[in-house]
């Protein structure tokens, strides 16, 4: 599969910048489409540092209205005008995101060179937001202290690939090749071949699920079963489980258990409490339960 599917972690801390980590923000690139997922303070600086072209971002996905997930967004929107953006930008977020952005932009007398499209979410179940021929984007409610959504980006299954050996073996014409790529069998009277004989299976579609901030209990996760990469917040080590649950967060052990339950390919952790200067112990605690755990950290790049 030639289309890129790349995740860049811009910020991995919770609440505030600390120890070289900025608050939560990520960029997912899927072919020609790029998604900015949350936009904490410092996100733009990371984009510049990691050579991410801001004008290439088509969608902004905000999980909730806590400042460490959206205080960088007004500045990002303003910079797009300075970069002479013309194409529209679509923002998804909970109820209140429209008022927040329109108020900040109005009071700061910000000029925009592009159309800003804001969709407020008030869904109580897993809901598809965008469905095109290449991928789907959906949102789902999680369980935090205020309305919060996770996001799931799934690639559409690609058609089977033509087997090059079959082209010469059957002397396939261009018309026949196009028909076979579309799923047809070969039928030349007595000469027949099934599509499966003429093609090779395409790569499995890729998927990414983003869950921040949330407790592990109190919401439906079944639509995340088997995703290739799951981001799940790990604000605390498990010795702080009572504090985590009281504040609407999760621990390393809880996130790893969710990853096992959902049979995901890999678990990406992050949203670290500023009490931890070194987050390697959080990684070790998660890996002890779910070995395929990746330490989310500013600058980490994952290619699926």
The mean pLDDT value for 93-114 works out to 97
CA distances from 82 to 2, 55, 274 (A): 33, 10, 33
- Position 253 scores a pLDDT of 98
pLDDT per position as a tens digit, 232-279:
999 999 999 999 999 999 999 999 999 999 999 999 999 999 999 999
Is a pLDDT exceeding 90 seen at residue 169?
no
Is a pLDDT exceeding 90 seen at residue 141?
yes
Domain boundaries, the chain: 5-158+203-303, 161-200
Q: Answer for the pair 263, 17: CB distance below 8 angstroms, yes or no.
A: no
> Domain 5-158+203-303 is of which CATH architecture?
4-Layer Sandwich (3.60)
Three-state DSSP state, 44: helix
Q: Answer for the pair 94, 148: CB distance below 8 angstroms, yes or no.
A: yes
Greater model confidence, 201 or 231: 231
Q: What is the DSSP letter of 63?
A: -
Three-state DSSP state, 11: strand
Under the banding of pLDDT at 50, 70 and 90, the label for residue 120 is: very high
* Max intra-chain CA distance, the chain: 75
- Position 3 scores a pLDDT of 84
- In the chain, DSSP finds a helix count (H) and a strand count (E) of 9, 18
- Position 119 scores a pLDDT of 98
pLDDT per position as a tens digit, 36-51:
999 999 999 999 999 9
CB atoms under 10 Å from CB of 170, counted, come to 18
CA distances from 92 to 46, 65, 110, 232 (A): 22, 12, 20, 19
pLDDT per position as a tens digit, 178-226:
888 888 988 988 888 889 888 888 888 999 999 999 999 999 999 999 9
Q: Answer for the pair 278, 13: CB distance below 8 angstroms, yes or no.
A: no
- Position 202 scores a pLDDT of 80
Is a pLDDT exceeding 80 seen at residue 66?
yes
Q: Answer for the pair 101, 70: CB distance below 8 angstroms, yes or no.
A: no
pTM: 0.92
Q: Sort strands 25-30 and 33-39 into parallel, antiparallel or unpaired.
A: antiparallel
239 given a catalytic annotation: no
Three-state DSSP state, 77: helix
Chain centre to alpha carbon of residue 220:
18
Greater model confidence, 171 or 252: 252
Is a pLDDT exceeding 80 seen at residue 1?
no
Show Cβ contacts of residue 125 under 8 Å, excluding neighbours closer than 6 positions: 140, 141, 220
- Position 65 scores a pLDDT of 98
CA distances from 171 to 127, 175, 178 (A): 47, 12, 14
Q: Answer for the pair 102, 69: CB distance below 8 angstroms, yes or no.
A: no
The mean pLDDT value for 48-73 works out to 98
Average pLDDT, the chain: 95
Phi, psi angle pair for 89, to nearest 5°: -125, 130
- Position 158 scores a pLDDT of 82
Can you read off the two tokens belonging to residue 287?
């890996």
pLDDT per position as a tens digit, 124-133:
999 999 999 9
Is a pLDDT exceeding 70 seen at residue 2?
no
Catalytic member of 33, 38, 68, 298 = 68
What is the sign of the dihedral through the CA atoms of 52, 58, 61 and 67?
Answer: positive
52-79 burial, b if ≥16 CB within 10 A, otherwise e?
bebeebbbbbbbbbbebbbbbbbbbbbe
């Amino acid at each position: 599969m030639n289309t890129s599917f790349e995740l860049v972690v811009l910020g991995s801390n919770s609440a505030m910048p600390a120890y070289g980590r900025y608050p939560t923000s990520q960029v997912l690139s899927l072919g020609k489409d790029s998604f900015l997922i949350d936009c904490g303070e410092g996100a733009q600086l990371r984009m510049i540092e990691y050579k991410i072209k801001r004008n290439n971002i088509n969608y902004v996905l905000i999980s909730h209205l806590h400042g460490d997930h959206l205080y960088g967004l007004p500045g990002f929107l303003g910079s797009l005008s300075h970069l002479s953006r013309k194409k529209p930008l679509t923002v998804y977020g909970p109820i209140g995101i429209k008022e927040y952005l329109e108020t900040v932009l109005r009071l700061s007398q910000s000029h925009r060179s592009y159309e800003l499209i804001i969709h407020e979410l008030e869904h109580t179940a897993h809901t598809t937001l965008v469905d095109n021929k290449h991928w789907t984007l959906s949102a789902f409610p999680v369980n935090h202290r205020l309305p919060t959504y996770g996001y799931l980006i799934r690639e559409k299954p690609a058609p089977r690939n033509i087997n090059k050996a079959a082209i010469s073996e059957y002397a396939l014409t261009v018309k026949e090749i196009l028909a076979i790529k579309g799923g047809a069998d070969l039928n030349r009277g007595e000469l027949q071949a099934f599509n499966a004989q003429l093609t090779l299976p395409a790569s499995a579609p890729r998927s990414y699920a983003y869950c921040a901030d949330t407790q592990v209990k109190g919401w439906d996760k079944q639509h995340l079963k088997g995703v290739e990469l799951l981001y799940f917040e790990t604000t605390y080590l498990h010795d702080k489980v009572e504090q985590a649950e009281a504040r609407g967060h999760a621990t390393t052990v809880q996130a790893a258990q969710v990853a096992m339950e959902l049979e995901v390919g890999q678990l990406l952790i992050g949203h670290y409490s500023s009490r931890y200067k070194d987050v390697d112990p959080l990684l070790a605690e998660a890996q002890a339960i779910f070995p395929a755990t990746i330490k989310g950290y500013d600058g980490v790049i994952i290619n699926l």
